[in-house]
Structures are given as C-alpha cells and as structure tokens.
Structure 1
Amino acid sequence: MKNQLTPIEARKRNTKITIWTCSIAIVALVSAVVFAMSSM
C-alpha cells in the first residue's frame, strides 16, 4: 500500500480534472451558442 496517494496529491488531481471538465463544458456551451446564432 505504498503507492497510495496522499490526500494533497489526490486533491490536486481532482482539481485538475474539475478544471478540465469545466473548460470543456464552457467551450461546448460557447460553440453551441455560436452555432445557434449562425444558423438563425
């Protein structure tokens, strides 16, 4: 059980995943809005 992550490392990794998810969601939202505007 030596390779278990310390809480700080786990939190860093979770934060990175959360930031990636948020940025992908924002990009998808913006592109959807732009697509809706251009198709009108």
Structure 2
Amino acid sequence: MIWFPMVYWMIGLLTTLVAFPKVMVKRQRSRARWVSPDRGKGSL
C-alpha cells in the first residue's frame, strides 16, 4: 500500500500548483471579514 501516500501527496502538490498562480494573478479586492449578526443584545 505504498501507492496511497504517493497519490495523497500528488493530489496536494497538484492542488498547490494550480491554486498558487491563480491567487498571485488575481486582483486585490476587499478583504474577507466576518460581520457578526446582531443577536439583540443591545435591545434589553
């Protein structure tokens, strides 16, 4: 079963090789920030 770790690492490598150039070429847009929903804490 030596092929299983090799396939696992190859999938990770291919994912990195495809995603990294896409991230580097993409234009800088606004940063993703979580906006917490109001849960009514201020209404009491």
The one-letter amino acid paired with 1:32 is F
TM superposition score normalised by structure 2: 0.52
Please name the residue that 2:34 is paired with.
none
Please name the residue that 1:23 is paired with.
11
**1:22 CA displacement:** 0.3
Q: Which is richer in helix?
A: 1
Unaligned regions of 5+ residues in structure 2, if any? 29-44
Q: What are the within-5 Å matches in structure 2 for residues 1-40 of structure 1?
A: 13-39=1-27
Unaligned regions of 5+ residues in structure 1, if any? 1-12
Identity across aligned pairs (percent)?
7
| Misfit runs of 4+, over 3 Å | none
- Bigger Rg over Cα: 2
TM superposition score normalised by structure 1: 0.56
- Taking the aligned partners of 1:39 and 1:22, their CA distance within structure 2 comes to 28
Aligned length: 28
